[in-house]
Amino acid sequence: MLGEPWHRIISITSTDPDRSPARHPGGDYALDRGFRGIAWTSAALILALVAYIIVEIGGKALPAIAEYGFGFLTSTTWNVQEGHFGILPEIWGTLYSSLLALILGGVFGITIAIFLTQDFLPSRLAVVFRTIIELLAAIPSVVFGLWGIYVLIPMLRPAANWLHEEFGVVPFFGTSLSGPGLAPAALVLAIMILPTVASISVDALRQIPYKVKEAAYGMGTTRWEAILKVMLPTAGSGILAALVLGFGRALGETMALAMLIGNSNQISLSLFAPANTLAALLASNFPEAGEVEVQALMYAALALLAITLVVNIVGLAAMKFATRKFEAER
């Protein structure tokens, strides 16, 4: 069958016949039981781990929650000496940088997915290009941070400062770029989530049955009409999942941001101003924090955990929905 995805043929859920183990000699039977017990425990450990993470971080954050309440989420100061803690600038910076990265990384990621699946390249070249994109995901965050400091920021600075001088009235260009700042951080973040968005979108586009593509071309669409009017809408929920999961990844990304965003406790629309994120706050303050600050940091970690959990669960739900849709269609 033309275009029949291979995984349909082999995705057989294994349901082995439940054979009575009593037929086997006693030793084997005990071994079988023991084996099953270990496997069960290992699977249960995953549940226990997630519960333990939530309890441990939540528990250590309790004193800070009791102390600062919800005001913690809306306050803008982080002053260890006076014991004032608030993470509004970090929440802002996390969402702002992730959103910028999502826009850029999303547009590029989806375009790359189209490029890889809609016959732009002979299949061998497509494999090479896909590997390039996947290797991008393998570069450690801290190396991207280093590259950002010594390659990206010096490259961006003249352009950023020109934009600031010419269009300084526009809030996005309201400051100059003196070194670290939101723009280089968001750019690196976009590069880092691009492979996530691209590979999930590739899967979504590949799930579309060949007959749908045939139908589109049969109606007399050009290649781009087929892509924009049929393929993308049909893969819609899968691409949505790609974007949401990419966003989730951006929210939790730490090292590159800690190195590039400037760790400045302020709220600004300017793309060139330094900012901070929740993860970067944890990375830069944790190692030298005293007891009180650690409690506040635990509260911040809990906030980050909550945000990323929600985003990831939404993304996974969208992905499940997308897969179901095609299973029903077949």
Per rule CB under 8 A, is residue 112 in the interface with another protein?
yes
Rounded to whole angstroms, the Cα distance separating 136 from 107 reads: 17
Nearer to another protein, 14 or 81 (CB): 14
85, β-bridge pairs: 78
Per rule CB under 8 A, is residue 234 in the interface with another protein?
yes
Nearer to another protein, 46 or 169 (CB): 46
Task: Kindly identify the residues of this chain, within the stretch 145-164, that bind another protein according to CB under 8 A.
Answer: 145-147, 149-151
- 171: tokens are 């809030």
Per rule CB under 8 A, is residue 114 in the interface with another protein?
yes
Using CB under 8 A, which of 4, 8, 21, 103 touches another protein?
21
Nearer to another protein, 164 or 213 (CB): 213
Using CB under 8 A, which of 212, 267, 269, 292 touches another protein?
212
Supply the minimum distance, in Å, between the C-beta of residue 171 and another protein. 27
Nearer to another protein, 142 or 170 (CB): 142
Stretch that binds another protein, among 27-35, 79-87, 95-103, 163-171 (CB under 8 A): 27-35
Contact 133, 198 (CB under 8 A): yes
Nearer to another protein, 216 or 271 (CB): 216
- 91: tokens are 């929440």
Task: Kindly identify the residues of this chain, within the stretch 52-91, that bind another protein according to CB under 8 A.
Answer: 52-53, 56-57, 59-60
Contact 179, 262 (CB under 8 A): yes
Supply the minimum distance, in Å, between the C-beta of residue 219 and another protein. 5
Using CB under 8 A, which of 62, 66, 103, 132 touches another protein?
132
Supply the minimum distance, in Å, between the C-beta of residue 40 and another protein. 6
Tell me, residue by residue from 259 to 288, as one string, x for binding to another protein by CB under 8 A and - for no binding.
x-------------------x--xx--xx-
Residue type, 4: E
Contact 272, 171 (CB under 8 A): no
Per rule CB under 8 A, is residue 216 in the interface with another protein?
yes
Rounded to whole angstroms, the Cα distance separating 60 from 314 reads: 27
Distances (CA, A) of 104 to 32, 107, 108, 109, 257: 52, 5, 6, 8, 16
Q: What's phi and psi for 79, nearest 5 deg? A: -125, 110
Per rule CB under 8 A, is residue 329 in the interface with another protein?
yes
Task: Kindly identify the residues of this chain, within the stretch 290-309, that bind another protein according to CB under 8 A.
Answer: 297-298, 301, 304-305, 308-309
Contact 274, 266 (CB under 8 A): yes
Contact 240, 197 (CB under 8 A): no
Three-state DSSP class for residue 84: strand
Helix (H) or strand (E) holding 79: strand 78-79
